Structure 1
């Protein structure tokens, strides 16, 4: 889904063929538009929605990564080839939709370094923006201008999240430093509140935690997010909660690891000490969705009778909203200060015992 929630894209399968499909969501009734190209797509083709309604297609052919923009033209599909990227020995993947949705980016992970490419939005095809030492994964945008990108980097030691400034040639700044020998990864971030969702083994086992960008408070690992034997993945944060990170609704996908059951849908807020299990719509495209400014989850789904559906699911609250002067309000004083500088401020190192790590 685009950052503004107006469009989505997926690779659909019908009649034995794979083809890109665009969903228009900023209408009273969502609808899908098939975008078949001149030949069926391979199952490994990747798609990304753009802010103007076009769909970026990432194909692989003869060792090259090829990019095109697809758009509907009456009964057929128009295609604008953007060029390709050759990165022998490197794995190239699309990054999540950027805040400024007229652009698209990709990571090419090599043996010793990682390249950041702008694959759509440039004047002359794909453009190499930065070369970062180490192997990088993930990819979370930390601002609204497509400038600061958070990546999880492995460089001669544990994996640590760094902030990459794409307007300064890929200048790297440490972002997560919870413990010297811990693997710390950033999963999700919200630019309004500064809320960060983190996965780290600093507590002695791999746990899901949260922190606030630029805050002087340490990362916390709530006990309610500890679900042994299950994989808990956050996929959406409520926007618009300026200076109120603890009140943000967070959508979670919970997998039991067996592969025999559908993922569960849950909702959670940092201010609460419990996770709410929610009823996911039938045919939910698991792990896809967004959270509105009102804290309502919007979840895309497909069934035999509904080819393009969007369900709205509310997350109940077990705690009143924090008031000014409360612990939640005082905690984010450092976030406002962090926003006045050009780069993110690293989170404080968290003690691994006592109240700093608990609920």
Structure 2
């Protein structure tokens, strides 16, 4: 397969459902924005516009559910409103249905920052993170009773959001507390019980970026090595967190991990969004890095034309699917496969590795 790199323009976030069945984004020109749902399950992807009488604001968030509905989060004055959008058939043509779910607002005049968490692995629920100076609240905004439901209250200011299981119960968040940021696990099935997840050193900032529940592979960013570095570990393993030299890639961000590699984290494909280095003027083009923990190097490929940057989905068979949109192809998927790594060179005079001190990786209760 041939891909080419282009200079990327800023695009609205593109969110893919956990099972890869649907995706959603804001589409349109200028201020005439509307929700757009992509159907990805099937031989060819296709798009369904979901416009309403009023255009959407540029800061609205979308999240697709496994049943084909699209959750939308809107800022309405000081409150954050949630609704479900879905296509309906009518005699005059297709229309967009809307089911209001309620809103989350500030308490006692607090400034609250609300954003949607990544799609829940079960495909039915949707969750949002509300952060104030007093702490963080996790809200279930779809899939529970009618209206937003508070499911966890966490001391400290939280960011991030990575699911650790396949049922939408264990959620990892990056919690800032007393000047240090550590990833913690939140058990939504136990009233929001919080447990340590990453504890590389006492003073380091340790953030979780991605996790694969099948293999236990964790992708993280930490300043424990003396600077902010990408690293990887395995949930529950006694082996140290590793910071490969090949992952010293500046602001590179992993966005997809290959599923289905049970108990084999070293074989999981990882896709990274790499800033610059794509060959454009001044090295401004984005590119994609493909890597697996067993490798000692990153395969760098040009981003496909029209790539909806920072998104993609691995198949269990090791094929990465990237969404793109161009004037000629408004809804497309391009695939690429992680190349086979060459075998390592054979040393005639092997040198024993220098001893290292293991860095503990704490495990959330499963």
Q: CA deviation at 1:62?
A: 1.5
Q: What is the match of residue 259 of structure 2?
A: 239
C-alpha change, 1:275 and 1:117, in structure 2 (3 Å) is same
- 2:225 matches 1:225: no
- 2:25 matches 1:10: yes
2-structure distance, mates of 1:305, 1:218: 48
- 2:45 matches 1:22: no
| Secondary structure, aligned partner of 2:266 | helix
User: How do 1:84-123 residues align onto structure 2 when only pairs under 5 Å count?
Assistant: 84-87=103-106, 88-123=110-145
- 2:224 matches 1:205: no
Could you tell me which of 56, 68, 83 is aligned with 2:83? Answer: 68
Aligned residues: 322
- TM-score, L = length of structure 2: 0.85
User: How do 1:142-221 residues align onto structure 2 when only pairs under 5 Å count?
Assistant: 142-221=164-243
- TM-score, L = length of structure 1: 0.87
Displacement over 3 Å in runs of 4+: 256-260
Task: Tell me, yes or no, if the aligned pair for 1:149 and 1:166 is still in contact at 8 Å.
Answer: yes
Structure 2: runs of 5+ lacking an equivalent:
1-15, 344-362
- 2:316 matches 1:316: no
2-structure distance, mates of 1:62, 1:44: 13
Structure 1: runs of 5+ lacking an equivalent:
321-337, 345-359
C-alpha change, 1:280 and 1:62, in structure 2 (3 Å) is same
Q: CA deviation at 1:23?
A: 0.1
Q: What is the match of residue 284 of structure 2?
A: 261
Alignment deviations for residues 128-161 of structure 1 (CA, whole Å, 9 cap, x no partner):
1111000000000001111110000011131000
Task: Tell me, yes or no, if the aligned pair for 2:286 and 2:302 is still in contact at 8 Å.
Answer: no
Q: What is the match of residue 96 of structure 2?
A: 77
Question: Relative contact order (alpha carbons < 8 A, sep ≥ 6): 1 or 2 greater?
Answer: 2
C-alpha change, 1:191 and 1:115, in structure 2 (3 Å) is same
Alignment deviations for residues 309-356 of structure 1 (CA, whole Å, 9 cap, x no partner):
000011102157xxxxxxxxxxxxxxxxx7xxx815xxxxxxxxxxxx
Could you tell me which of 279, 284, 289 is aligned with 2:312? Answer: 289
Q: CA deviation at 1:15?
A: 7.2
RMSD (Å) for aligned C-alpha atoms: 1.7
1-structure distance, mates of 2:145, 2:201: 43
Alignment deviations for residues 165-187 of structure 1 (CA, whole Å, 9 cap, x no partner):
11111111000000111000000
C-alpha change, 1:137 and 1:16, in structure 2 (3 Å) is closer
User: How do 1:116-135 residues align onto structure 2 when only pairs under 5 Å count?
Assistant: 116-135=138-157
1-structure distance, mates of 2:103, 2:282: 36
Alignment deviations for residues 213-266 of structure 1 (CA, whole Å, 9 cap, x no partner):
000101000000002xx3110000000000110010000001149998232111
1-structure distance, mates of 2:198, 2:319: 29
Q: What is the match of residue 54 of structure 2?
A: 39
1-structure distance, mates of 2:62, 2:54: 16
- 2:250 matches 1:250: no
Q: CA deviation at 1:279?
A: 3.1
C-alpha change, 1:92 and 1:16, in structure 2 (3 Å) is closer
